[in-house]
């Protein structure tokens, strides 16, 4: 079951060209089992039609003409405000931002916001000069001071006006991911004040400039943990090795540090350890590396028949040795067959606070998949099994569980 299944999400569209991108958000929410309703301002209707939005929602769309309609004898904005578990405003114009920041309501959407108490996710989109106006920046910061409101900051790129700069509405994947996180946490920033250090991806141990020992890790699990923690208010540092490029294409709100091999990963993790409260080691670090590294590419005729290997330093073990009493270090063990026994051995040998055992030899799990399943094991050997789910869901379940350790 998805984090979105059965959840009630109200989408508010305002007048910007990015409204067409929200259609993808609505479609994905509906396909993942959410109940979706939509309100279009008069400006939004100039860019997308209520019929388009209604078709994607599988429910009639509301406009300002609907304002005086009643539901069971009650005003529509009251009904919608009480119905929604989460409200998403995308795109959010400078005009609507100004209204929300100052508690103003002059249409169905803004009245619904004031008549609701659920979390609100806002995704601004506007021209770069508009976004950089002092008054707009002030309204943005003022809005985010309200704990109800959560922001998905605009990205950079070529805008519809041909200006290149900040102002593009966040991509649909980033918005949907944040929606799922807020529905899980109910908008509560329970990790505020914590620093979560996450490792992700694989390492590449080169023996010449083009050949290396590596593994198929894509970094998806580690990035999911980093994003989930950031959505819940944590300060997050993500140290990542070899990853699929699109996985780390947008790390807004996360300090991302790229490394190439196990030595660099060790160096950066030890650097950031003192400021971390939780360390989540999802990275697939190599166990061995070539004993010799050649400075130039070896021709085929000179490749060694046997490649001498040496062990890679135990990064997790070093972190655990340096751990302070308030810190928690959680390891990952990607296994085939019996996943629990080797994970327990790793847990005790390295003196971890907990470990996540996950299979890599079953469908929809492990490397490169968008899904995962796992057994969480604490230092006392207590186990909690998580059935197949998205990696973002698993990340949230893990953060919940670590918080109870």
Beta strands 86-92 and 8-13 are: parallel
Give backbone dihedrals phi and psi of 157, rounded to 5 degrees, phi first. Answer: 155, -170
Q: Residue 333 burial by CB count (10 A; 0-12/13-18/19+): exposed, middle or buried?
A: buried
Q: Residue 66 burial by CB count (10 A; 0-12/13-18/19+): exposed, middle or buried?
A: middle
Rg (CA), the chain: 24
Active-site residue, selected from the candidate residues 57, 161, 320, 389: 161
DSSP H helices in 240-361: 262-272, 315-322, 340-350
Distance CA 295, CA 298 (A): 9
Specify whether the CB–CB gap between 16 and 94 falls below 8 A.
no
- Assess whether 118 carries a catalytic annotation: no
Distance CA 228, CA 237 (A): 12
Active site residues: 161
């Amino acid at each position: 079951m998805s984090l979105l299944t059965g959840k009630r999400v109200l989408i508010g569209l305002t007048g910007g060209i990015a409204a067409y991108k929200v259609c993808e958000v609505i479609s994905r929410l509906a396909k993942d089992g959410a109940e979706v309703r939509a309100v279009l301002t008069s400006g939004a209707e100039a860019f997308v039609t209520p019929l388009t939005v209604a078709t994607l929602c599988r429910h009639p769309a509301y406009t300002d003409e609907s304002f005086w309609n009643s539901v069971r004898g009650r005003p529509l904005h009251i009904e919608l405000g009480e119905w929604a578990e989460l409200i998403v405003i995308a795109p959010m114009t400078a005009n609507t931002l100004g209204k929300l920041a100052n508690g103003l309501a002059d249409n169905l959407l803004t009245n619904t916001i004031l008549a609701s108490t659920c979390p609100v996710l806002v995704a601004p989109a506007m021209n770069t000069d508009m976004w950089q106006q002092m008054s707009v920046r002030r309204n943005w910061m003022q809005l985010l001071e309200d704990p109800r409101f959560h922001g998905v900051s605009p990205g950079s790129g070529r805008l519809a006006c041909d200006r290149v700069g900040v102002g593009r509405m966040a991509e649909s994947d980033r918005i949907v991911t944040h929606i799922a996180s807020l529905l899980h946490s109910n908008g509560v920033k329970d990790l505020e004040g914590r620093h979560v250090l996450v490792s992700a991806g694989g390492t590449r141990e080169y023996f010449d400039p083009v050949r290396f020992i590596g593994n198929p890790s894509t970094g998806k699990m580690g990035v999911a943990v980093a994003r989930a923690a950031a959505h819940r208010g944590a300060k997050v540092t993500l140290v990542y090795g070899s990853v699929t490029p699109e996985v780390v294409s947008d790390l807004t709100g996360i300090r991302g540090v790229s490394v190439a091999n196990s030595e660099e990963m060790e160096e950066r993790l030890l650097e950031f350890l003192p400021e971390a409260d939780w360390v989540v080691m999802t990275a697939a670090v190599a166990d061995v590396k070539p004993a010799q590294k050649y400075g130039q590419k070896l021709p085929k005729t000179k490749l060694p028949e046997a490649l001498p290997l040496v062990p890679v330093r135990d990064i997790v073990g070093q972190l655990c040795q340096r751990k302070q009493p308030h810190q928690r270090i959680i390891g990952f063990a990607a296994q085939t067959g019996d996943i629990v026994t080797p994970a327990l051995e790793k847990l005790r040998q390295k003196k971890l606070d907990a470990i996540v055992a996950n299979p890599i030899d079953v469908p929809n799990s492990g490397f490169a998949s968008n899904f995962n399943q796992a057994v969480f094991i604490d230092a006392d050997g207590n186990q909690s099994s998580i059935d197949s789910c998205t990696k973002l869901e698993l990340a949230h379940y893990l953060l919940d569980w670590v918080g109870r350790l």
